[in-house]
Structure formats: structure tokens, C-alpha cells
Structure 1
């Protein structure tokens, strides 16, 4: 057993000793849930929220600078994994919600790209000119 695993188990035991007793009654089942904060099923989606933050930050970027491929990938993976999270055991609503928002972020950016390209039919020419200058 690696030192990282021992550290994680010690943190979980400390949480059980100090955090669990002060949790409100409605939060106690979530603490010990199969997809709760003592498992990877909780921490992976928690970190994945940064993708949504990055997508929201991209709202400040001009639509012509957005990547069609990147946002298509975000949309597709968000859609696929949203569904998958609802059929796995344990059902992970937290991961499903983060994937749903990844999908929505990708879709919003794809709509911005489509709108830009519709409004600017010569977008390809502009893009080629910018890359050669």
C-alpha cells in the first residue's frame, strides 16, 4: 500500500471523527454514500468543474477565436458521460450534473461559433489571411 493511500485513509478517518459529527442530518447520508467525498467518484467531478470554468471564461473570447473541434469534443463527451453516469453503479448524480454542464458549455460555444460563421460568410478567408500574416 502506497503512502498516498495511507494518507488518504488517515484523512478519511479524521473526517469521520471531526467532520461527520458536526454535519447536519441531511448531509450525513451523503458523507457515507458510495459516491461521497471519501471516494474518487466525488473528487473527479469536483475537479472537472474547472472545465466549466474554462468554458465560461471563453465567453469573453471572440467567437472567431474559439475552436470548433475542442467545443465539439466538450459537447459530445458531456452528452455521452451524462447518460453513462445514470446507468453505472453507484449512480453518480454529481458526476452527471458536471457532465451536463460540460455539454451545455460546449453547446453554448458551438452556437457562438455557428452564429459568427453565419453572420460572417467570409470567415474562412479572414482566417487564412490571419494565419499567413
Structure 2
């Protein structure tokens, strides 16, 4: 167990480097997006969710080709892409696929 902890501690993308802390703090974006699952879809922003999704997709790919492999960066960006896609799907369903309610006729 101690050798695994030492390997993690001394890894080039370990907790002694910015390569660890930047993706760790980036989890806040994904957590905030998950918290917004309770928000009504009409309050979601297309530009924001497109940015979150695109960032997640682009950096997920990039994190697999850099050296050293940074699996923390990969996982946070997969989470960003997934939550962004989910939020975009909610917004698109609301804006383009829902049937508008008929107005009530009062007599």
C-alpha cells in the first residue's frame, strides 16, 4: 500500500504538481452542472452548455495523448462532456420537441 501511495505522490501528474490540482478544481464545473439538473430547462443557456460540452470533448481527447497520462484530467472532462450533453438534450427537448399547452378559454 505504501508503494502505491508513494507512486501516486511522486507521479508527474501527482498532487505535488499543477497537473493534479487544475483538473481537481475543474470538478467544480461538473458538480455545478449536476446541481443544475434541478433547474428548469428554460433557464439553461445554450452557449454555456455548448462550451462545457466542447471543452469536455476536446480535453478528453487531449488528455489521452499527452505525457504523462493524466487520468484525473480525462475523467473530469468526460464528466463535463456528459453533463453538458445531458443539459443540452434537456434544453433541446424543451425548446423544440415539447407540445405547447393550449390556452384556456374562459367563458
Higher relative contact order (CA 8 A, sep 6+): 2
Q: Given the superposition, is the C-alpha separation of residues 48 and 70 from structure 1 closer, same or farther in structure 2, using an over 3 Å criterion?
A: same
**2:8 is the counterpart of 1:33:** no
Picking from 29, 32, 37, the partner of 1:59 is 37
Cα displacement (A) at 1:26? 2.4
Match of 1:47 among 10, 14, 25: 25
Larger Rg: 1
Give the equivalent residue in structure 2 for 1:103. 81
Residue deviations 1:52-72 (CA, integer Å, cap 9, x gap): 111011111100110011001
Counterpart in the other structure of 1:119: 98
Instruction: Give the CA deviation at 1:120.
Output: 4.4
What's the CA shift for 1:115?
1.2
Using the size of structure 2 for normalisation, the TM-score is: 0.87
**TM, length-normalised to structure 1:** 0.71
Deviating beyond 3 angstroms after TM superposition, the runs of 4 or more aligned structure 1 residues are none
User: C-alpha separation between the residues in 2 aligned to 1:77 and 1:57?
Assistant: 19
Instruction: List runs of 5+ in structure 1 lacking aligned partners.
Output: 1-22, 123-133
1:3-14 pair list within 5 angstroms: none
